[in-house]
Amino acid sequence: MKTFLLPLLTLPLALLAAAPVYWPAPAAVASTFSRPESTREVRQVPAFTRLSLATSAELVLVQGNVQKVELVGNPDDLRTIETTVKDGRLRIGQPDGNWKNWRGFSAPVKVYVTMPRVEALGVSGSGSIEAAQPLRAAALDLSVSGSGALRVAVATEQLKASVSGSGSLRLSGTSPAAAMHISGSGRIEAAGLQTASCTAHVSGSGNCRVGVAQTLEARISGSGSIYYTGAPRITTHISGSGRVRKG
């Protein structure tokens, strides 16, 4: 019996081994997991002079004559983002408690904003605001809270800049008077900012770098550092292991 069963068992296996195997093409596999195409939405909002980004989007800011707010991204993601104006401040982000705040977006979201007049910019969370062209204002208030980033060029008479958390703020341009404050491990890079008088306060382990021509008041509480360029007259107040040095 064994002599006759062996060919019967091996024949189907041989046929199976010889049969061609078809794999789906890479494009077919990719299409199975493809995301919806990006869409553009222009949001109509009342006039505003202050801007707050409260979501993990990348915002590009331009100062221009015609106000405009445009969002680019996955339609499902854009539906979770509110653009509301209250007391002259535009807030871009999800409602408080929305699940997208911790889950994140399925694809990058970009926001393009044009403002005729800029008085204040703020980032809370992990988003970013960038303005390559100088923002012109009599006074400007800039703030970062969380791990976000703010990179702007300015042309203002009075500047206030603050970082709370691990975020970063990069400044260039001109401002005769400037006040900078860091709370936490964040950093302010303002060596490219030309200022005559500056007050810099670091509380925690953050780093502040400034360019000053005339007077610098430096206050440190903790292990942070303040670096300066120029030849200003310096007043220091240090509590902890922090340091103020040229560089």
pLDDT tens-digit map of 31-50: 444 556 889 999 999 999 99
- Residue 165 inside a domain? The answer is yes
Q: Please state the domain count of the chain.
A: 2
Question: What is the structure's pLDDT at 31?
Answer: 41
Q: Which of the listed residues 56, 85, 117 is the one where a domain comes to its end?
A: 117
**pLDDT of 161-182, one tens digit each?**
999 999 999 999 999 999 999 9
232 with 157, same domain: the answer is: yes
Instruction: Classify 91 as helix, strand or coil.
Output: strand
135 with 113, same domain: the answer is: no
154 with 226, same domain: the answer is: yes
CATH, residue 72: 2.160.20.120
Q: Which of the listed residues 85, 117, 149 is the one where a domain comes to its end?
A: 117
DSSP track, 174-208: E-SEEEEEEEES-EEEEEEEEEEEEEEEEEES-EE
Question: What is the structure's pLDDT at 98?
Answer: 55
140 with 176, same domain: the answer is: yes
The residue count for the chain: 247
Question: What is the structure's pLDDT at 22?
Answer: 47
- Residue 198 inside a domain? The answer is yes
Collect the ranges in the chain with pLDDT lower than 50.
Answer: 1-17, 21-33, 99-100, 102
This prediction has a pTM of 0.84
162 with 221, same domain: the answer is: yes
- Residue 24 inside a domain? The answer is no
Domain of 152, in residue numbers: 131-242
98 with 142, same domain: the answer is: no
- Residue 13 inside a domain? The answer is no
232 with 135, same domain: the answer is: yes
- Residue 30 inside a domain? The answer is no
- Residue 22 inside a domain? The answer is no
Question: What is the structure's pLDDT at 105?
Answer: 87
Cβ(193)–Cβ(154) below 8 Å: yes
163 with 192, same domain: the answer is: yes
CA dihedral 172, 178, 182, 188 (to 10 degrees): 10
Question: What is the structure's pLDDT at 36?
Answer: 61
- Residue 106 inside a domain? The answer is yes
171 with 92, same domain: the answer is: no
- Residue 31 inside a domain? The answer is no
